[in-house]
Amino acid sequence: AQSVTQLDSHVSVSEGTPVLLRCNYSSSYSPSLFWYVQHPNKGLQLLLKYTSAATLVKGINGFEAEFKKSETSFHLTKPSAHMSDAAEYFCVVSPYNFNKFYFGSGTKLNVKP
Amino acid sequence: EAGVAQSPRYKIIEKRQSVAFWCNPISGHATLYWYQQILGQGPKLLIQFQNNGVVDDSQLPKDRFSAERLKGVDSTLKIQPAKLEDSAVYLCASSFTSGENTEAFFGQGTRLTVV
């Protein structure tokens, strides 16, 4: 069975401080993992993806995520938050060769001035 | 390259009316998905097509929802009759392959409000 758990529904940080959005997954098969961002009234944009290469994945806008198989985690981080990072973030798992995408429930990131 | 196109962007209908959404995937993408995203939740897969065949429609409420992809390119999703709980954003996505290089590309969605 495949599932994704985003541990925080809301995260609030101050501008310039680090961001940590947590994601745990369950997959019966070697997964690909993704983080998507959704700004208000906008479509889903891919931030980064893990596909069994390097476990530390760098994405757009300074975000990165580390795949930890032993912990079944794929947490998203950014060293310094910007006001424009305020959005909803979704962790997604895709089991190998299944061409299916399972979403977490999302984490809303609020960035305070 | 052009992205996934969806129309309309917004739709307001009364309950028990019918509505249809249209999606044109990225050229060459064999797999097409329709997702439902209720406010405050993550997208939920309604139906998945591979070319013009249905791969997975286990979460589609078939008494009121239908979808087709007749020529294996664009697709329509229909709701008839609509209920209040169908208010959501309907997202279309497409992907080009499976295995390690799989990735889903999403349209901007259609926001449906049922009153």
DSSP string, A50-111: E-SS-SEEE-GGG-EEEEETTTTEEEEEESS--GGG-EEEEEEEEETTT---EE---EEEEE
Contact criterion met (CB < 8 Å) for A99 and B101: no
d(CA B105, CA B50): 15
d(CA A17, CA A20): 10
CB B45 within 8 A of CB B104: no
CB A71 within 8 A of CB A86: no
Residue B101 has a pLDDT of 67
Contact criterion met (CB < 8 Å) for A103 and B104: no
Half-sphere exposure of A19 (CA within 13 A, CB side): 30
| Omega before residue B8 within 30° of 0, cis | yes
Q: Rounded to a whole number, what is the distance in Å from the CA of A50 to chain B's nearest CA?
A: 9
In this prediction, residue B92 has a pLDDT band, given cuts at 50, 70 and 90, of very high
Residues A70, B100, B93, A2: is their CA dihedral positive or negative? negative
Q: Is the pLDDT of residue B39 over 80?
A: yes
Mean pLDDT in residue range B23-47: 93
Which phi and psi angles does A60 have, rounded to 5°?
-80, 160
Q: Is the pLDDT of residue B81 over 90?
A: yes
B 35-74 near A (Cβ less than 8 A): 35, 40-45, 48, 50, 55-56
Q: Is the pLDDT of residue B38 over 80?
A: yes
DSSP state letters, B34-72: EEEE-TTS--EEEEEEETTEEEE-TTS-TTTEEEE-TTS
**In chain A, which residues have pLDDT < 70?**
none
Tokens of B82: 């609509």
Between chain A and chain B, the number of residue pairs with CB atoms below 8 A apart is: 59
Closest Cα in chain A to B89: A41
Contacts within 8 Å (CB) and 24+ apart, A44-50 = A44/A90, A44/B43, A44/B91, A44/B93, A44/B106, A46/B103, A46/B105, A47/A76, A47/A89, A48/A76, A49/B103, A50/A74
Residues A98, A104, A105, A108: is their CA dihedral positive or negative? negative
Residue B98 has a pLDDT of 59
In this prediction, residue B24 has a pLDDT band, given cuts at 50, 70 and 90, of very high
Query: Which chain A residues touch B45 with a CB distance below 8 Å?
Result: 100-102
Which of B31, B105, B108 lies closest to A99 in CB terms? B31
Q: Rounded to a whole number, what is the distance in Å from the CA of B45 to chain A's nearest CA?
A: 8
Residue B97 has a pLDDT of 67
